[in-house]
Amino acid sequence: MAKPLLDRNLPGQRPAASPQQGSRLWPAPIWLRRGSPALIDLGFLGGFWLLYFWPLLVRQEYLIPYDIIEQHYMFQAFVHRSLVAGQAPWWTPHILGGYPLTADPLTMLFYPPALAMHALAWREVLLPYLYLEWLAALHVLWAAAGTYLLARSLTGSRAGAVLAALTYAFGAFFAMHLPHLSALAGLSWLPWIVLAFRRALRERSLFWIGLAALAFGMMALAGHALTLLQTGYLLGGLTLLASWFHSPGARAPHAALAIPDRSLDQSMEVAEPPGDSQPATRAGTSWGQPSWLATLRVHGSILLMGLVVLALGTALAMIQLLPSWELSVRTERANFPYEEAVVSSIQPHWLVTMALPNFFATDGPAPYWGSGDPAETNLYAGLLP
């Protein structure tokens, strides 16, 4: 549009706002403008979560069955009764001749969300079972929120991030493992760990390193050893991949592993050859190639960040890990043979459940004719993925 030849405003007078510009006189805070799409998406996920758990938490038509009643509730009920009575729940006389409750990670004795649950129910002598169901359901919501933010940071797509959150938090895996409170709680921290660790790699920030370690420690305190071990493998693998992708001559890193940090880029800058002469060599390294010292510094910084996250996160959970380690060497699993350990490893025919979740039980769970436990073997991710 052409600029008017004459300005009708007096010197020093603020131009009159048009109706289209009226809303710009008091703009919303920048954090609100940038975060409003995410808030809308997270609100949608929260509404879906409420609808998903409405019959369970609000109408209370169902109970979460199996392990959460037979194991987790029994542990939490004893812990709650002990705390209300002002006693330390380190030991219970109600299992065999006595049992070191503090050494069993499935008790979630030092897990902050579980402690918050006991604090909210401090007026109740007997812990209401509904509180434990709320604890499980809130971890599903936490997993959905973390997956959304992780997928959004990786792809930039709102629709893709929402789909990823729905797939991870409300797919067959989480639905099948709803009775397994420790595994569910631990896996809800997985997207938060990866999100914070990726930000730590990208920004070389102590803040994000600390958050990644904190999330890893929370996963450890949730009490599912296998989840913790596999997440440790994942962090180690991501660290090695990030280091390899930033090696001299390596292929350009994928966006998910790229570390566009200026300090890293500067350390890998190529030195220009002196003058217009041919590239010369200096200390065994040719001009035009990154020096071995700069390369070592890049790899060292990446590997150190991964090591710090694992070490610091483990240290935060030592109050649970040390007694659990001491107990584990006195159980039957100390001599667990490899043949029994791999019994539930994935079988090729289980891949059918990726597309047909009820292939081995078309009429419900009772006539299940496939091998393994359906909670461990079902791979269905949803209709859209």
Whether 135 is in a domain gets the answer no
Which residues have CB under 8 Å from 118's CB, separation 6+? 76, 79, 80, 83, 127
Residue-range definition of the domain harbouring residue 295: 189-261+290-331
Q: Enter the tokens of residue 88.
A: 């330390």
Q: DSSP character for 86?
A: T
Whether 370 is in a domain gets the answer yes
Amino acid at 284: G
Regarding whether 374 and 307 lie in a shared domain, the answer is no
Whether 300 is in a domain gets the answer yes
Give the span between the Cα atoms of 285 and 291, in whole angstroms.
6
Instruction: State how far Cα 321 lies from the chain centre.
Output: 20
Whether 211 is in a domain gets the answer yes
Whether 371 is in a domain gets the answer yes
Model-level pTM?
0.81
Regarding whether 366 and 307 lie in a shared domain, the answer is no
Query: C-alpha angle 261/217/129, rounded to 5°?
Result: 135
Query: In the block, which residue shows the tokens 């769970």?
Result: 365
Q: Enter the tokens of residue 55.
A: 């019959």
Task: Give me the torsion for CA of 248, 254, 259, 261, rounded to 10°.
Answer: 90
Regarding whether 352 and 225 lie in a shared domain, the answer is no
**pLDDT by residue, tens only, the chain of 385 residues:** 444 444 444 444 445 545 444 444 445 555 456 668 899 999 999 999 999 999 999 988 888 998 999 999 999 999 999 999 999 999 999 998 999 999 999 999 999 999 999 999 999 999 999 999 999 999 999 999 999 999 999 999 999 999 999 999 998 889 989 999 999 999 999 999 999 999 999 998 999 999 999 999 999 999 999 999 999 999 999 999 998 887 655 554 454 455 443 333 333 333 344 444 444 444 444 444 457 777 788 888 999 999 999 999 999 999 999 999 999 988 887 888 888 878 778 888 888 888 888 788 765 556 777 777 777 777 887 766 5
Are 69 and 129 in contact by the 8 Å Cβ rule? The answer is: yes
Regarding whether 250 and 319 lie in a shared domain, the answer is yes
Regarding whether 377 and 324 lie in a shared domain, the answer is no
Are 245 and 253 in contact by the 8 Å Cβ rule? The answer is: yes
Considering Cα of 310, then 233, then 76, then 173, what sign does the dihedral take? positive
> How many domains are contained in the chain?
2
Are 45 and 159 in contact by the 8 Å Cβ rule? The answer is: no
Give the span between the Cα atoms of 234 and 232, in whole angstroms.
5
Whether 352 is in a domain gets the answer yes
